[in-house]
Amino acid sequence: MEKMKELLLVIRSFKGWVLVLMFFSGFLWLFNKPIIDYAESNIATKDLVLGNIKNDLLINDGLSELLDNTSADRAYIFRFHNGVTYYTGSHKSRMSCDYEVVSRGISSEAQRLQNIPTALYIDWISEVIANRMIHPDVNKVSDSRARQSLIQQGIKGLAVMPYYREGNLVALIGVDYVTTKDFTKLKGMHLYNETEKQIFKLKTQRIGDLLL
């Protein structure tokens, strides 16, 4: 009986220490929670970045294939996005060249084709939307501002298609011809060969489906 009483006294003495340890454990957890949350968030961010990189590689592979299939020199994707906000509350619509693949010896133009106001090239964009931006001769492009910009980039011919998602225009996908090595397929599409045009459009749509 005496031993049982001693045991109960020992348990009671430990109970206080257990409560103290539990209190400090909870305090340390609360103190370190922001660090834990930051670490978890950082890991999630890294995973998101890696996921985007893998997807970007798939898009570049698609553009490289489009480049080869059309015998072009440059393949690219322009995506639409918001710019600044006007006093009226509306957004200034812009487009940027987010993806680009070029043949050896061909200049990259993507870095300087960023945040372009769409209002400055509305005629050119309208032609793309109408599936009419297929020109073996860039001098035949009706939009004078776009024509001048294309000539400055050394472009001699081009083919560009619109990409829609859920009914919204989200991107323009196309190819440029900087050299005159082979305009065969481009001329075929330009002369309203619907088969060639639809094949080209289908390939651009498949690439567009990879956009996040």
pLDDT confidence tier of residue 31, bands split at 50, 70 and 90: very low
DSSP codes joined into one string, 155-185: --EEEEEEEEETTEEEEEEEEEE-S-S--HH
Q: Determine contact, residues 175/72, Cβ cutoff 8 Å.
A: yes
Structure tokens at 148: 């001048």
pTM: 0.75
Write down the pLDDT at residue 16. 53
Residue 94 pLDDT level (bands cut at 50, 70, 90)? very high
- From CA 95, how far away is CA 108, in angstroms rounded? 17
Q: Which residues contact 69 (CB under 8 A, 6 or more apart)?
A: 203
Q: What is the distance between the alpha carbons of residues 81 and 46, in angstroms, rounded to a whole number?
A: 24
Burial class (CB in 10 A: 0-12, 13-18, 19+), 171: buried
Compare 6 and 74 and report the one with higher pLDDT.
74
pLDDT, residue 176, reads 94
**pLDDT: is 98 or 1 the higher one?**
98
- CA dist 110 to 16, 51, 77, Å? 68, 22, 9
Q: Mean pLDDT, to the nearest integer, of 153-181?
A: 92
Tell me which of 116 and 25 has the higher pLDDT. 116
The pLDDT value given to residue 51? 74
